[in-house]
Amino acid sequence: MDVDYSFLQALWFILISILWLGYFVLEGFDFGVGMLLRKLGHTNGDRRAIIHSIGPVWDGNEVWLITAGGATFAAFPGWYASLFSGFYIALFLILIALIVRGVSFEFWGKSDSPRWRSAWEWATVVSSFLAALLWGVAWANIVRGVPINGDQDFTGDLFTLLNPYGLLGGVTTVLLFLAHGAIYLNLRTGGDLPERARAVARWASPAAAVAGIAFLAWTAIDIAGGDAVVIALAVVGALLLAASAMSELARRPGLAFGLSAFAIVALFATLFVELFPQDMPSSTNGAFDLTIANTSSSDYTLTVMTIVAVILVPVVLMYQSWTYWVFRKRVSPEEFDPELRNPLDVIRADQDDSTAQA
């Protein structure tokens, strides 16, 4: 069956956008939980419960990022090359933050030393904050446009990205993910933790709504030049942000979490709609813009990728959904025996109990 080449280019831009939307919704609450580890965790039991609330899913959530990067490399190699070379330092910092964050989860329970645990807790907080901030800065700049010459090379530096619009994008994602994480902890933890998480969500959700509405307004009016579709999406995003904040204030965390997730989707969907059919606009000259037409792979490559995606993506969605279903139970600090430092200790304790009963 012959498939129109331009259709495949548009299809893969949309699919890559969906991968990024999934990543920011799922990893968003991960980042928020990480940033709140020290704020909400008053005891080792509290902090263990907070870590375990995302323990079974955080690495699975990052698969969306890996898949988005791989799909970009395969479908739009020109975009991938310019993005990863031009944003090298920013993306390197994000990579370091993600590595440190993953290591901190694993190493936290390896020693009972207060200094050891405090160091890895702060590593979790700082790395989560840095990743959340830099993702917002990066995508705001991709949509706004960066210096690109006729050879599709980025001619700026890290400080080029630290402009007011980019920084507002970073502040917006930090606040959005912080509120998203607080609402998630309200739903997934027990004991005193839900009330503490609710207290954070009560100020973080309105703050995220204010920053998000300001960012969306700037995007719709200035960056998009009044494009009707972008304005409509921006209005939807603004309404979702406001509704999420009101739901949390009304003590309806389930509804607030859903609205928060959809608000994140609406915000980034606004950016992707504004970007299409470009990959990265050039602030140097519009003739140097990277588009889906001048950065994509061959039609054969896109066709093969489409067939593979149709077969494998439903499988991935099913097993990740199953993971969330299995680990849906609330996690309470009281469940964690201070003597049990890691999963091996838990297994040994279960074996001892079985032996004693026998």
Res 3: pLDDT: 46
The mean pLDDT values, 10 residues at a time, for the chain of 358 residues are 67 92 91 91 84 84 88 89 84 91 85 85 93 92 85 78 90 93 88 87 88 88 78 83 76 83 90 86 82 86 89 86 83 65 52 58
The predicted model scores a pTM of 0.87
Res 5: pLDDT: 55
- DSSP-H helix ranges across the chain: 5-35, 37-40, 44-54, 58-61, 63-75, 77-86, 88-107, 114-144, 164-188, 193-218, 228-249, 253-275, 292-295, 299-326, 343-357
Res 353: pLDDT: 56
The answer to whether position 77 is within a domain reads: yes
Res 357: pLDDT: 59
Domain that holds residue 189: 29-199+278-349
Q: Which two tokens stand for residue 12?
A: 């893969």
Q: Which two tokens stand for residue 23?
A: 């990543």
The answer to whether position 251 is within a domain reads: no
Res 345: pLDDT: 55
Q: Give the SS3 label for residue 289.
A: coil
Q: Give the SS3 label for residue 42.
A: coil
Cα-Cα-Cα-Cα dihedral of 52, 57, 63, 64, to 10°? -120
Distance linking the first and last C-alpha atoms of the chain: 65
**How many domains does the chain fold into?**
1
Res 157: pLDDT: 76
One DSSP character per residue, 167-224 reads HHHHHHHHHHHHHHHHHHHHHHB-TTHHHHHHHHHHHHHHHHHHHHHHHHHHIIIIIS
Res 160: pLDDT: 81
Res 7: pLDDT: 86
Rounded CA separation 121/114 (Å): 10
DSSP 8-state class, residue 284: S
User: Kindly report the CA angle at 47 between 54 and 254, in degrees rounded to 5?
Assistant: 45
Q: Which two tokens stand for residue 238?
A: 């603004």
Instruction: List pLDDT tens digits, range 133-182.
Output: 999 999 998 888 888 887 777 787 778 888 899 999 999 999 999 999 99
Res 18: pLDDT: 92
Rounded CA separation 176/109 (Å): 29
Res 336: pLDDT: 66
User: Kindly report the CA angle at 234 between 230 and 235, in degrees rounded to 5?
Assistant: 120
Res 2: pLDDT: 47
Instruction: List pLDDT tens digits, range 187-242.
Output: 888 888 888 888 898 888 888 888 988 898 888 888 777 678 888 888 888 888 88
- 238 neighbors 212 (Cβ within 8 angstroms): yes
Res 174: pLDDT: 94
The answer to whether position 193 is within a domain reads: yes
One DSSP character per residue, 226-267 reads T-HHHHHHHHHHHHHHHHHHHHHHTT-HHHHHHHHHHHHHHH
The answer to whether position 85 is within a domain reads: yes
For residue 316, give the nearest of 61, 127, 135, 107 by alpha carbon.
61
The answer to whether position 241 is within a domain reads: no
The answer to whether position 10 is within a domain reads: no
Res 55: pLDDT: 81
For residue 296, give the nearest of 76, 91, 71, 124 by alpha carbon.
76
The answer to whether position 16 is within a domain reads: no
**Residues constituting the chain:** 358
The answer to whether position 288 is within a domain reads: yes
